[in-house]
Amino acid sequence: MKATPQPDPSIPFDDALELAGAGRFADAVMRALEIAGETPQESRAAAAAQVLARMARLAEAAGDLAAADRALEHAIILRPRYADLHFQYGALLAQRGRRAEARRELEAALEIHPRYLAARVELAMLEAREGRIGEALTVLRDLQRDRGIVEPLTFQQGLRSLERADWDAADAQFRRAVRGSTPKLDRQLERYRELVAEGNPERAADVLREAVESHESYPDLHALLGASEMALGHLDDALCSFARALELNPNFHAARVQMALALDSLGDRAGASEQLALVLQAEPGHAQASELTERWQPRVRAGGDSRGRNRP
């Protein structure tokens, strides 16, 4: 599978993007196609597809769905084997109520990249809107443990909304839970797992840092990076990663427990216990937080230094 196209900075698409920024989307698409057609270079066509996809997002945000449709149609002509483009077009067509065409594009994305989570969710929502709610719920429940879901609680809320046939709420919740899940990120996570299995945790952490740079708003990526940094003994870096995960999602209990473990490793038993208390306040039955609290409390009651001197 080919990677998502990246713009070549040497190709002058600036004037086309300026037209899009001014809301002149039809003119912007025409200009981008003119630039792409000036020379038949591979890099120029790839960059044009990326620029057209960006224009489509701008047009969609501005409510000009027809212009977004045209931009993506041309982007796919330029690069028919990019799953991201088919997914973006399929989601747009679904929004416009053109379900048969949306299904075609989403299935094309999945043919190229069978594990494309966002496309699988979008396709399930099409099934639901066509009256096959039971089938859609079965698919979505099977997907709820997927690593690509960045907000599991929001995904569960989407399931409950779909059970009530609240389409709009379910759409918004599923998209938020899976937002931005892309083949590129899937490949990065696959590479991370391969490197861990190969016994190369330093390079695995580097791959996660690259993923975080492109998906800064994903709390689970920050937490995963924090766990990798902690395993490498980079405790201060790990704390920063866990803190960012919790800033993005204060209810991310697993990240808070990991932060407690990092604090304890740094000798701050009191700070670690405070983090566990926050978890148990929100979820009294949290198994790991309960186990750690029970393990640490006797040492505090014995009068030892709660900042770690009694640690084995």
Per-block mean pLDDT, blocks of 10 residues, the chain (312 long): 37 75 86 73 70 86 89 90 88 91 93 85 88 89 80 86 86 77 68 87 92 74 90 94 86 88 94 94 87 78 46 42
1-112 against 184-301: fold identical: yes
Instruction: Tell me the CA distances in angstroms from 185 to 84, 86, 218, 219, 302, one per residue in order.
Output: 11, 16, 11, 14, 48
Structure token pair of residue 43: 């890099």
Whether the CB-CB separation of 73 and 40 falls below 8 Å is answered with: no
Angstrom distances, CA of residue 50 to CA of 5, 76, 79, 168, 211:
6, 10, 9, 29, 19
Tell me whether residue 106 is exposed, middle or buried, using C-beta atoms within 10 angstroms of its C-beta: 0 to 12, 13 to 18, 19 or more. buried
Task: Determine the Cα–Cα distance for residues 202 and 195; give it in Å rounded to an integer.
Answer: 9
Question: For residue 55, what are the contacts with CB-CB under 8 A and spacing of at least 6?
Answer: 16, 17, 20, 25, 28, 29, 32, 67, 68, 71
End-to-end CA distance of the chain: 50
pLDDT at 272: 94
Which superfamily is assigned to 1-112 in CATH? Tetratricopeptide repeat domain (1.25.40.10)
Domain ranges of the chain: 1-112, 115-178, 184-301
pTM: 0.55
Both structure tokens of 206: 């580097």
Contacts 24+ apart (CB under 8 A), 189-197: 189/147, 189/148, 192/224
The pLDDT value given to residue 68:
92
Distance from C-alpha of 69 to C-alpha of 223, rounded to nearest angstrom: 37
C-beta of residue 273 within 8 angstroms of C-beta of residue 306? yes
Give residue 115's pLDDT: 80
3-state secondary structure of 303: coil
Question: Among 3.40.630.30, 1.10.10.60, 1.25.40.10, 1.10.287.3510, what is the CATH number of 184-301?
Answer: 1.25.40.10
Q: Rounded CA gap, 72 and 56, in Å? A: 6
Angle between the N-to-C axes of helices 253-265 and 235-248, in degrees from 0 to 180, rounded to the nearest 10: 160
Burial 23-55 (b: 16+ CB within 10 A, else e): eebeebbebbbebbeeeeeeebbbbbbbbbbbb
From CA 66, how far away is CA 56, in angstroms rounded?
9
